[in-house]
Amino acid sequence: MRVATRPSLLSLDDALAQLLASASSLGCTESVSTFDADGRMLAEDVVSELQVPAFDNSSMDGYAVRSSQASWTLPCRLRVPAGHSPSALPEGEAARIFTGAPIPFGADAVVMQEDCTDLGLVDGVPTIRINVVPAKAQWIRRAGEDVECGAVVLARGTRLSPAELGLAASVGMANLKVAAKPRVALFSTGDELVMPGSVAPADMKAGSIYNSNRYFLRALLVRMGCEVTDLGIVPDDLAATKQALSNAAAEHDLILTSGGVSVGEEDHIKPAVQALGELHLWQIAMKPGKPFAFGRVDKTHFVGLPGNPVSSLVTFLLLVRPLLLQMQDTSNMALQAMPPATLLRADFDVPRADKRREFLRVRRNVDGGLDLFPNQSSGVLTSAVWGDGLVDNAAGQTIQRGDMVSYLSFAEFLK
């Protein structure tokens, strides 16, 4: 009979290193419209075949002039709207110019219109007075100052957000080659789980709880650029579970479950995964989120998250998120597993140190410090809703009011 012993705990960094070492880029790519590429990961460098700006142009509405002009009351017959190739600027004249319009040959400065007076027709000629003598090169954006021809404007492995789409479009890319979406099969496990809508709150039988993990896991997976198949509840016997996992493995890159991964819990997932591939049952020295299962079914990755909602959420952010990024990263660049932390002032105390590295749910206050959610229980999803981030607190570390602590914003994980 099995004698339960206290297993040695794995550090989060070691767990992450093992996780990422066993996984690699899926290697599949597809071409998508730049319009549809938000959140995807670039599978090849975007190289500019042109310079941006393509030509010297005005960054203001105003008048193009020679900065060496002697007199500043000037005929203004030339008019340069954006999108037009101007003729040269005649000696001793100004040209009306608009933002983005090419600088006419001969001009070397732009005076913004607020610094000019339109004198109307003088001797039958439209005339302008320049009230502020311009510096050479003033209000001119130089050709190529944004992007040089041949420059890599976006590197393979870049996760695309709106600004990246704009930059790709600015060098003429109507389509982008991106990593294929990881296909993720989501299973739920746990006899106690009831789907919202299937039983009214008043009719919930004792011992039952609503399945909340499936909701946030699906939303997180979609945000990470995945295609999610919700396979519902794990079947109630081993043979059927093996069959279901095997079927899922054939069509997916990752099988994700939550619950059922504690050492002592009995479910059919563990023996089924062990029979079909391999399974590591880790005890990670982190709080929340100690039990964590990682393995594979055939060649498909398998991850079993803890069942407590906050543990499930936090282990997703700290472990599954980097795994999914790596699966989409064809660049083999060093992966930034965690978003950058910010040092902020703790406006709370943690008088008792935990043996595990702890991720406390906190919220920035109006004074620029951090408040702590009073109930840090891993079953309490309200802490993650109330909070706007996590404090990454080292094992054995107490916190005193006023200490600078390492803050990780949820927004950085979710972007």
Cβ 174 to a copy of itself shortest distance, Å? 3
Token pair 């005076």: residue: 111
378 near a copy of itself (CB under 8 A): yes
**Which residue number, 28 or 129, has a Cβ lying nearer to a copy of itself?**
129
**Single-letter amino acid code for the residue at 347:** D
Q: Of residues 6-35, which lie at the interface with a copy of itself (CB under 8 A)?
A: 6-7, 34-35
Smallest CA-to-CA distance from 369 within 341, 394, 400, 404 is with 404
Q: What is the 3-state secondary structure of 146-160? A: CECCCCEEECCCCEC
Burial of 44 (0-12, 13-18, 19+ CB in 10 A): middle
Q: Report, in Å, the least distance between residue 102 CB and a copy of itself.
A: 5
State the minimum distance, in angstroms, from the CB of residue 140 to a copy of itself: 10
Can you tell me whether residue 225 is helix, strand or coil?
Answer: coil
Q: Decide: is 1 part of the binding site for a copy of itself (CB under 8 A).
A: yes
Specify the stretch interacting with a copy of itself by CB under 8 A; choose among 237-245, 249-257, 297-305, 370-378.
370-378
Query: What distance, in Å, lies between the first and last C-alpha atoms of the chain?
Result: 48
Backbone φ, ψ for residue 291 (5° rounding): -80, 135
**Among residues 295 and 306, whose Cβ is nearest to a copy of itself?**
306
Tell me which stretch binds a copy of itself (CB under 8 A): 79-87, 274-282, 349-357, 390-398. 79-87
- Interface positions, 195-214, toward a copy of itself (CB under 8 A): 195-202, 204-214
Residue 245: closest CA among 279, 269, 278, 211: 269
Q: Which stretch binds a copy of itself (CB under 8 A): 70-78, 268-276, 352-360, 380-388?
A: 380-388
Tokens of 69: 């002009």
Instruction: Tell whether residue 409 is a contact of a copy of itself (CB under 8 A).
Output: yes
Least gap, CB of 38 to a copy of itself (angstroms): 4
Contact call for residue 73 and a copy of itself (CB under 8 A) = no
Site for a copy of itself in 31-50 (CB under 8 A): 34-35, 38, 48-50
Helix (H) or strand (E) holding 360: strand 357-364
Stretch that binds a copy of itself, among 172-180, 270-278, 350-358, 393-401 (CB under 8 A): 172-180
Residues 231-290 that bind a copy of itself (CB under 8 A): 259, 262-266
- DSSP letters, 93-108, are --EEE-TTPBPPTT--
Instruction: Say whether residue 381 binds a copy of itself (CB under 8 A).
Output: yes
Structure tokens at 413: 């994980």
Size of the residue set binding a copy of itself (CB under 8 A): 124
Beta carbons of 325 and 224 less than 8 angstroms apart:
yes
Residue 91 Cβ vs a copy of itself, minimum distance, rounded to whole Å = 23
x-or-dash pattern for a copy of itself, window 137-156, by CB under 8 A? ----x---xxx-----xx--
**What is the distance, to the nearest Å, from the Cα of residue 359 to the centroid of all Cα atoms in its chain?**
20
Judged by CB, which is closer to a copy of itself: 28, or 137? 137
Q: Are 255 and 279 in contact (CB under 8 A)?
A: no
Q: Which residues in the 116-135 window bind a copy of itself by CB under 8 A?
A: 116-118, 120
- With residues binned 3-state (H G I as helix, E B as strand, rest as coil), the percentages for the chain, rounded to 5, are 20, 30, 45
In the region spanning residues 329 to 358, those forming contacts with a copy of itself, defined by CB under 8 A, are 339-340, 342-344
Residues 392 and 342: beta-carbon distance below 8 Å:
no
Beta-bridge partners for 369: 345
Rounded to the nearest whole angstrom, what is the least distance from the CB of residue 24 to a copy of itself in the complex? 26
Of 122 and 250, nearer to a copy of itself (C-beta) is 122
CB count within 10 Å of CB 315 equals 28
Distance CA 404, CA 342 (A): 9
d(CA 340, CA 352): 26
Binding of residue 320 to a copy of itself (CB under 8 A):
no
Q: Which residue has the tokens 């203004």?
A: 76
- Of 74, 76, 130, 167, which one interacts with a copy of itself (CB under 8 A)? 167
To a copy of itself, the closest distance from the beta carbon of 118 in angstroms equals 6
Q: Determine whether 364 is exposed, middle or buried from the number of CB atoms within 10 Å of its CB (0-12, 13-18, 19+).
A: middle
Q: What is the nearest approach in angstroms of a copy of itself to the Cβ of residue 299?
A: 28
* Minimum distance of a copy of itself from residue 10's CB (angstroms): 14
105 is a site residue for a copy of itself (CB under 8 A): no
